[in-house]
Amino acid sequence: MTQSREAAEANSFAEAFEASLNFKTPEQGELLRGQIVSISGDDAFVSYGGPSEAVMAAAELDGLDVGDTVEGTVIQTSPDFRISRKLARGKASLELLRQMYENRLPVEAKIAGRNKGGFDVNIGGLRAFCPLSQIALGKIENPDAFVGQSLEFRVTELSDDGRRIVVSRAALLKEQAAARAVETRKAIVPGAELTGTVKTLTPFGAFIDLGGVDGLLHVSEMSRRRVTDPKEIVSVGQQVRVKVMKVESGGKRISLSMKDQEPDPWTDVADRYPVGAPFSGKVVRSTDFGLFVEVEPGVDGLVHYSQLPFGVKQGDESIAIGSTVTGWVREVDPAKKRLSLSLREVATTDPWESVAQKYPIGKVVEATVDHGGAPGIFAQVEPGLVGLIPNSEIMVPPGADPSKAFGPGEKLVVRVMSVDAQRKRMSLSHEAAKAAAERDEYTKFVDERADASAEGESAMALAFRKAMEKKK
């Protein structure tokens, strides 16, 4: 009995092996019938007589269970052998297609070719039309690439006689995107890091598909360095990692950033650009109040117009956008990401602390004209120390404006008239300096005359002798 059973099993195996050798693998589009042998997760496994089970989406079973017979169309032969009940393309009928249309079920179809305005689509022998705008979402770069592909469509129009069948793949894609968007929006919160695909580029940034939901990656958020063209950083179809910055208008406006993927140059900016340190950078932007200078990628500083070199005014070619400028750091605030720059030499300590000792009243010094104003001329004595030469201390012809007697950058000899370190004010006088110089010349003349008299020379003889010495 045991031998008989072993012989039967051997015969059964031999028959199965021979059947497998003679088995012809069904082709895509053929109709198969088989028995459901198991259901696992989202997949159902169907035995149809082949060497392995066919896989069908469990969502298509519509109440069928293990042991039931099911019929489906081959939609994929590799790497998995998959069948579908959505539409038995092997024996498609108008009645079955109408059921799919009325129940809004997707159909499997093959794009047979191009025609005027769209594509010829074959639904199991039934001819349908898909408009060009309905083959995909967004701009279609190469329509011919779709020819020969088997895709899912939604039937949007179906005449009674079946002569007019219109399908749309875009409608199906929109529905799928909407379904994904519901889940995606749950993850889109400020601070979340997500992976998306670059959908479109604009002059001001890129729209990123986060999974049925689009967010804007502004050009200013693509990198810590200055970016003028989004194409420098991303391209359509590229996968990018982004951070959600803001979600506004009920989730309709989503702002994204890629900056966090780069080191923050402001972290140690105070160490690299301490107050008083020299810098060299490029003018990248001008405003009503000053110039923004890029000292390194990701670090821009502001040069206020009051900190331009003496004699240089707003709009000067030397400070045009793109120009390279050099100067000194005035202030740095890493927390607020602010860097104040000057194109004039700056003081590294407060010069007003020792101004009374360094510049006592009556001292004659050289100053550089900064600018003129209603009260007179402001002149820099040293970096960080600016005094006022009142109009009354500037000698000009009648009717002339004293504040315009000297131009910015011009050197003047002035005399210190008063100093108020607490209020940071210094009064200077150009006329007093000239008077002091004249007194010094007169004193020098008197002294020389006295010396000459002592030696027995007259003033005329002394002058003659000096003239002769100059000729030599």
Percent share of the chain, pLDDT over 90:
30
Any idea which fold 92-174 has? Answer: OB fold (Dihydrolipoamide Acetyltransferase, E2P) (2.40.50)
pLDDT at 1: 47
- pLDDT per residue, tens digit, the chain (472 aa), is 444 555 554 455 445 444 444 556 777 667 788 999 999 888 899 998 888 888 988 888 878 899 998 888 776 777 778 887 765 444 456 777 887 788 788 888 899 999 888 999 998 778 899 999 999 987 888 999 999 998 989 999 999 888 899 999 999 888 888 888 888 888 888 988 999 999 899 999 999 998 888 899 999 899 888 888 899 889 998 999 999 999 887 778 899 999 888 888 888 899 999 988 899 999 998 998 999 999 988 899 999 998 888 878 888 888 899 999 999 998 999 989 899 999 988 877 888 988 889 999 999 899 988 888 888 899 999 888 999 999 888 888 887 888 888 888 888 889 999 999 889 999 999 888 888 777 776 566 666 666 655 555 555 555 555 555 554 5
Determine the pLDDT at residue 91.
Answer: 46
Expressed in angstroms, the distance from the first to the final Cα of the chain is: 148
pLDDT, residue 133, reads 92
Q: How many CA atoms lie within 13 A of 390 on its CB side?
A: 9
Q: Check residue 463 and give its pLDDT.
A: 58
Residue ranges of the domains in the chain? 2-85, 92-174, 191-261, 269-342, 350-472
Neighbours of 155 (CB within 10 A): 23
pLDDT at 57: 85
Q: What is d(CA 302, CA 291) in angstroms, rounded to the nearest whole number?
A: 6
Query: In terms of Cα–Cα distance, which of 204, 205, 187 is closest to 195?
Result: 187
Q: What is the pLDDT of residue 44?
A: 92
The fold of the 191-261 domain, in CATH, is OB fold (Dihydrolipoamide Acetyltransferase, E2P) (2.40.50)
CA 63 → CA 9, 36, 206, 355, distances in Å? 35, 12, 46, 95
Distance, in Å, from the CA atom of 188 to the CA atom of 194, rounded to the nearest integer, reads 8
Q: What is the CATH architecture of 269-342? A: Beta Barrel (2.40)
The DSSP-derived string for 261-326 is GS--TTTTHHHHS-TT-EEEEEEEEE-SSEEEEEEETTEEEEEEGGGSPTT--TT-GGGSTT-EEE
The domain covering 350-472 belongs, at the CATH homologous superfamily level, to Nucleic acid-binding proteins (2.40.50.140)
Query: Is 0.75 topped by the overall pTM?
Result: no
Single-letter amino acid, residue 462: L
The closest alpha carbon to 363, from 315, 416, 300, 429, belongs to: 416
Q: Which CATH number fits domain 2-85: 1.10.10.60, 2.60.40.10, 2.40.50.140, 3.40.50.300?
A: 2.40.50.140
Residue 94 confidence (pLDDT): 78
CA distances from 147 to 29, 130, 237 (A): 17, 12, 21
CB-based contact 381:347 (threshold 8 Å): no
| Calpha distance 94→76 (Å, rounded) | 24
2-85 and 191-261 share one CATH topology?
A: yes
